[in-house]
Amino acid sequence: MDLRDLDVGPVHDIPHAEKLLFQCHQTRKSDIYVLDKGYDSEDIHRLIRDDLKAYSLIPVRTRKRKRIYGVYRRELARSFDQARYHRRNLVETVFSVLKRRFGESLKARKFQSQIKELKIKLMLYNISKIILAIFIWIYS
């Protein structure tokens, strides 16, 4: 599966989570996967921990019933690393900045051209951060 196989339009990633996690892990192995509450399920935790041999950091959804089911979900409910989880906000902020500066859609039509467009946007973002750091260093 590649990104072209995904649905067009706003759709939650849960139906595609298993394929996306495997694809992500094949591309770049990670020791930890940090996801939001929408992915809180024992199946996702089991996939990440048992199949991908990585650590899953997903906040446990709070529900009316107090009992938390699942070995991994109970473990996270007891000892959740808030500091590590909130570093996820840095990534979300960068995504937000990229969308505001360069738009939410890609202009390129072909898949390879879309990849190039994304890389160019990321390079421009990084260059702007470097220029800002130099400017602050010179004038401080």
pLDDT computed for residue 133 by the predictor: 95
Per-residue pLDDT at 122 exceeds 90: yes
> Do residues 73 and 40 make contact, with C-beta atoms less than 8 angstroms apart?
yes
- Confidence band of 123 (pLDDT split at 50, 70, 90): very high
Cα–Cα distances (Å) from 8 to 11, 12, 23, 26, 38, in that order, read 8, 11, 19, 24, 20
- Confidence band of 53 (pLDDT split at 50, 70, 90): very high
- Confidence band of 115 (pLDDT split at 50, 70, 90): very high
Tell me the whole-structure pTM to 2 decimals. Answer: 0.69
